Amino acid sequence: MERTLILIKPNAIQRGIMGDIVTRFERKGLRIAGIKMMYLTDEILAEHYAHLVERPFYPFLKASMQAAPVVACCLEGAEAVETVRLMVGVTNSRKALPGTIRGDFSMSGEQNVVHASDSVENAIIEIKRFFKEEELFDYESAVTRFEYGGEETAKFM
Ligand code: UDP
Ligand code: MG
């Protein structure tokens, strides 16, 4: 099944809403394959945001991502990358639809609560960046057959 990477950002840790974020993904039916708290080094951050290091706002983004630990989370489900991006909402939280995580929990384009992988290819790279093999767990979800239909089970699992 497809996997994606989430980072619950330092602003969410400081505001005491990490549980709310994790709960949303659990309630949706995404299986948590891995979860851990960590500080982001300059190196891992420059790699993770390589597409943004030259942008004028990068120093602010860097400071915000190192202001507290993050919680990295590997989520698994059918079409998990696209589904999680829809749950997260657009980058600028003020424009993110109500009902999305950013739309419900943030007023900011920078302090926007959560990172989510934007493509299946990037998800594979990002999961490797943040998790060692032994930190990801293949336990069987007892409720999968009540979460997906027969046709979906054949297609995605
Ligand atoms: N960001 C920012 N200002 C911008 C664009 C992005 O501070 O104008 C920050 C914001 O925290 C965002 C992160 O940089 O989540 C990564 O940007 P990206 O374009 O990859 O957005 P995302 O994939 O997180 O929606
Ligand atoms: Mg992005």
Residue 97 domain boundaries: 2-156
Say yes or no: CB of residue 91 within 6 Å of ligand 1. yes
User: Which of 61, 85, 92, 94 gets mutated to test ligand 1 (max ligand atoms within 8 A of its CB)?
Assistant: 61
Quote the pLDDT of residue 30: 98
pLDDT digits (tens, 9 = 90+) for 88-120: 999 999 999 999 999 999 999 999 999 999 999
Quote the pLDDT of residue 133: 97
Q: DSSP letters along 87-144, please?
A: HH--SSTTTSPBTBHHHHH-S-SSS-SEEE--SHHHHHHHHHHH--GGGS--PPPTTH
Radius of gyration of the chain (CA): 16
Quote the pLDDT of residue 81: 98
**Total count of domains within the chain:** 1
Residue 101: CATH number of its domain: 3.30.70.141
pLDDT digits (tens, 9 = 90+) for 20-61: 999 999 999 999 999 999 999 999 999 999 999 999 999 999
Active site residue 48: no
What's the pTM value of the predicted model, to 2 decimals? 0.98
pLDDT digits (tens, 9 = 90+) for 115-151: 999 999 999 999 999 999 999 999 998 999 999 999 9
